[in-house]
Amino acid sequence: MPETLLDKLWTRHLVQAESTEAPAILFIDLHLIHEVTSPQAFDVLASRDLAVRRPDLTFGTLDHSTPTLPANETGRLPYVTPEAEEQVNKLISNCAKYGIELAGMGDARRGIVHVIGPELGLTQPGKTIVCGDSHTSTHGAFGALAFGIGTTEVGHVLATQCLLQRKPKAMRVRFSGALGPGVGAKDMALAVIAEIGADGGQGYAIEFAGPAVEALSMEGRMTLCNMSIEAGARFGMVAPDETTFDWVKGRPHAPSGDAWDAAVADWRTLTSDAGAHFDREVTIDASRIQPMVTYGVSPDAAAPVGASVPAATTKSAEAARAYMRMADDTALQDVRVNRVFVGSCTNSRISDLRAAADILRGRKVADGVVMLVVPGSEAVRKQAEDEGLDAVFIAAGAEWREPGCSMCIAMNGDAGAPGDLVVSTSNRNFMGRQGKGVRTVLASPATAAASAVVGRIADPRDFIQQEAV
């Protein structure tokens, strides 16, 4: 029987196969934890006097509740509330108590959980990877079975290194053709979500395939897999190839020497076999994808940047238009921008920052627009500063911040003001996501930077063409 990549990853990790009565017991190779979704799980462990079964397969970071402004002159970090600081301290003490490695404040490895896992080489093809965070699908870019879990399940993994899971159905999304200039992985992600809907991937694991996916960098593949959950799919994945192996090689936790060769030989088998059955197949012509932006309060309300807001056909869509203050037929490029955010586990990697800097170099953020650039990790920050990207952002009038989730989830104090229109490289345009009453427009780093310069939603290709002349 030809197998899908999902089949292969699933079978390898079965402690016990599923039956009518019970889900499979799946072994977890890597458990990433952060401050927000772990404290209640550790409390369960403590109340039952349980140990962490495999601290060696567990790794912690601080990202959601952490400030992105530096410490003040007394060395104190500007936490949004004492509760946020307490939450951070709780992860620090839990990691110390249970012997879990933590990339804490000041650690050069710290950053957004879905940025540092790959950076450190913890994320590898063939692994099962979980985290109490829905964007864990990001790690599927390496050919891993990676998915978000709730806090009860965080407790299950801490105590047993296993999860009870039903196998998802398999969907393949093929991107044929090649992307045009100024179009990237974020536009592919928004295009597929617009195509299948915010619930189109419910119950599925999505494998992204085709020439336009093979042509993506690892950063691009991570962006694409990251957004799987915005189509309702817990899992997104790409079969590993030379691009993957080149990216993983030499990273701190990657295998080395003979173990590396053996690992790569094994990883090469992690592809869907010819003729493998998918429960659903979707094909998208990559050459037709334009830079995409959202106009609603669900990520599937996405359209090419040159389009107008389509007519609302449901009460929910009407309510979304009212919240976004975008009437039917509004040209998206007429929409005024108050803030721009470049960051998040979707788009805070070095290639994202380069794409934004390429547009901002020698230009200024428009009057009245506040722009935040938040690197995904300390390593990304260092790389960007070595390349002088921070200077480009600062010269353009943007703020260059400390790594963290920042305005993607806006729980650390980084938020817009009520009514603000934010062009954001993050993943969710939900009402109030970036602050109460804030209107979010999702876009790629290039589109976000172009919009910052123009002061309205803008097409990054206008800048690229300008340079080509």
Q: Which residues bind other proteins (CB under 8 A)?
A: 15-16, 20-23, 25, 27, 36-37, 39-40, 43-44, 47-48, 50, 53, 64-65, 80-81, 83-84, 86-87, 90, 132-134, 148-153, 155-156, 159-162, 164, 166, 198-199, 202-203, 229, 232, 234, 297-298, 314-316, 319, 409-411, 428, 430-433, 436
Spatial neighbors of 241 by CB under 8 A, at least 6 apart, are 214
Tell me the closest approach of the beta carbon of residue 346 to other proteins, in angstroms: 13
Tell me the closest approach of the beta carbon of residue 360 to other proteins, in angstroms: 28
Main-chain dihedrals φ then ψ at residue 296, nearest 5 degrees: -125, -155
By beta-carbon proximity to other proteins, the closer residue of 192 and 297 is: 297
Tell me the closest approach of the beta carbon of residue 310 to other proteins, in angstroms: 16
By beta-carbon proximity to other proteins, the closer residue of 84 and 379 is: 84
Angle at the Cα of 351 from the Cα atoms of 346 and 352, rounded to 5 degrees: 45
Q: Rg of the Cα trace of the chain?
A: 21
Is the Cβ–Cβ distance between 92 and 102 less than 8 Å?
A: yes
By beta-carbon proximity to other proteins, the closer residue of 396 and 438 is: 438
At 80, list the tokens.
């949004």
List of E strands, 425-463? 439-442
By beta-carbon proximity to other proteins, the closer residue of 145 and 355 is: 145
**Whole-number Å distance between alpha carbons of 457 and 358:** 17
Nearest to 202 by CA among 168, 174, 164: 168
Tell me the closest approach of the beta carbon of residue 392 to other proteins, in angstroms: 30
Tell me the closest approach of the beta carbon of residue 432 to other proteins, in angstroms: 5
Relative orientation angle of helices 445-454 and 350-360, to the nearest 10 degrees: 30
Amino acid identity at 441: V
By beta-carbon proximity to other proteins, the closer residue of 74 and 314 is: 314
By beta-carbon proximity to other proteins, the closer residue of 318 and 385 is: 318
Tell me the closest approach of the beta carbon of residue 386 to other proteins, in angstroms: 33
Is the Cβ–Cβ distance between 158 and 45 less than 8 Å?
A: yes
52: left (phi over 0), alpha (psi -120 to 50) or beta: beta
By beta-carbon proximity to other proteins, the closer residue of 36 and 379 is: 36
